[in-house]
């Protein structure tokens, strides 16, 4: 085991008690350990569009028929060694994305998003895992919107603001924080991988994850965390201790039969 850098070592000298610095913050959010969750696989869910060109053409068709497309994605967070990890999908060893998709044009926002999350992550009814889930595998605690990304044209570029003079955006993608319960069963289509990615891996890493996903640590910085162990006891909280060397990206489920390849960032 390599030595801990001096800047990361815990000082033996206790600092004096200062004034509190915790006003105007939302309540602390409890994160449960990765080991509390059960992960499985289910039938393949092929991507609708074989290429970016096809995806943009379908976006254009949607816009002509129904107007701006609404897309919902979820940020699900747990912890490993008292460091927040974000659950995300990886397709073909290359395409990282959050769980979610575009809403049908006539669907209610939250109800429609819950249906999408259930299709993406809930175990199939025929699976033995479905009986192990807490009462509602289709119930998702969607707490708040953390970010909005706009697509002004039929192009791959999206922006975290509506560009000037854009009066008819083609798509709005909303990222929501989803509070995970103490335990849950999650299943991923077997043509995808479900990853647990630590925040420090995402931060300032747009080359690998793209601008939307690498910005997640910024979105989550408004929260204070309480890290709960498997017994339900809060054992650490913000600010935390030294990041354990074992904290890294973990493949939780899926990806059978995939060939190794270069991992690149793709979004939008």
DSSP class of residue 228? E
Residue 25 CB neighbours (<10 A)? 11
Q: Is residue 10, in this structure, part of any structural domain at all? A: no
- What average pLDDT does the chain have? 86
Token duo for residue 187: 């299943």
Instruction: Report pLDDT for 139.
Output: 86
What's the pLDDT tens digit per position in 73-129?
999 999 999 999 999 999 888 889 999 999 999 999 999 999 999 999 999 887 666
Q: Is residue 140, in this structure, part of any structural domain at all? A: yes
- Residue with the bigger pLDDT between 262 and 180: it is 180
Q: Are 187 and 128 in contact (CB under 8 A)?
A: no
Q: Is residue 219, in this structure, part of any structural domain at all? A: yes
Q: Is residue 223's pLDDT more than 80?
A: yes
Cis peptide before 58 (omega within 30 of 0): no
Report d(CA 174, CA 207) in Å as an integer.
22
Give me the domain span that covers residue 160: 25-254
- The CATH number given to whatever domain includes residue 244 is 3.90.79.10
Kindly write down the DSSP assignment for every residue of 231-262, as one continuous string: TS-EEEESS--PPPTT---EEEEE-TTPPP--
Q: Is residue 224, in this structure, part of any structural domain at all? A: yes
Place of tokens 């129904």: 66
Mean pLDDT of all residues in 207-215: 96
Report d(CA 154, CA 171) in Å as an integer.
9
Report d(CA 145, CA 177) in Å as an integer.
6
Q: In terms of Cα–Cα distance, which of 190, 183, 48 is closest to 124?
A: 190
Taking only Cα atoms into account, the Rg of the chain, rounded to an integer number of angstroms, comes to 20
Overall residue count recorded for the chain in this entry? 268
pTM: 0.85
Q: In terms of Cα–Cα distance, which of 80, 103, 92 is closest to 32?
A: 80
Q: Is residue 19, in this structure, part of any structural domain at all? A: no
Q: Is residue 11, in this structure, part of any structural domain at all? A: no
Q: Is residue 240's pLDDT more than 80?
A: no
Q: What's the distance, Cα to Cα, between the start and end of the chain in Å?
A: 39
Mean pLDDT of all residues in 156-171: 96
Mean pLDDT: which of 11-20, 178-187, 247-256 is highest? 178-187
Confidence of residue 259 (pLDDT cuts 50, 70, 90): very low
Instruction: Report pLDDT for 267.
Output: 45
The domain total for the chain is 1
Q: Is residue 7, in this structure, part of any structural domain at all? A: no
Q: Is residue 182's pLDDT more than 60?
A: yes
Q: Is residue 5, in this structure, part of any structural domain at all? A: no
Report d(CA 8, CA 6) in Å as an integer.
5
């Amino acid at each position: 085991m390599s030595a801990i850098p001096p800047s990361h070592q815990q000082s033996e000298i206790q600092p004096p008690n200062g004034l509190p610095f915790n006003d105007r913050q939302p309540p602390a959010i409890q994160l449960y350990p990765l080991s509390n969750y059960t992960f499985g696989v289910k039938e393949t869910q092929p991507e609708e569009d074989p290429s970016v060109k096809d995806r943009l053409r379908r976006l254009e068709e949607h816009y002509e028929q129904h107007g701006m497309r609404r897309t919902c994605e979820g940020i699900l967070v747990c912890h490993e060694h008292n460091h927040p990890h974000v659950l995300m999908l990886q397709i073909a060893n290359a395409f990282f994305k959050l769980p979610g998709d575009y809403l049908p044009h006539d669907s209610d926002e939250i109800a429609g998003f819950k249906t999408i999350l259930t299709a993406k992550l809930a175990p199939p009814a025929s699976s033995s895992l479905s009986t192990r889930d807490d009462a509602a595998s289709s119930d998702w605690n969607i707490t708040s919107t953390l970010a909005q990304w706009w697509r002004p044209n039929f192009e791959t570029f999206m922006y975290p603001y509506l560009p000037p003079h854009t009066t008819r955006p083609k798509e709005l993608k909303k990222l929501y924080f989803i509070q995970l319960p103490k335990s849950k069963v999650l299943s991923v289509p077997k043509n995808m991988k479900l990853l647990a990615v630590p925040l420090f891996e995402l931060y300032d890493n747009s080359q690998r994850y793209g601008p939307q996903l690498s910005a997640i640590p910024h979105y989550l910085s408004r929260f204070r965390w309480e890290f709960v162990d498997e017994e339900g006891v809060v054992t650490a909280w913000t600010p935390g201790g030294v990041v354990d060397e074992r904290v890294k990206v973990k493949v939780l489920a899926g990806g059978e039969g995939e060939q190794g390849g270069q991992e690149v960032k793709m979004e939008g």
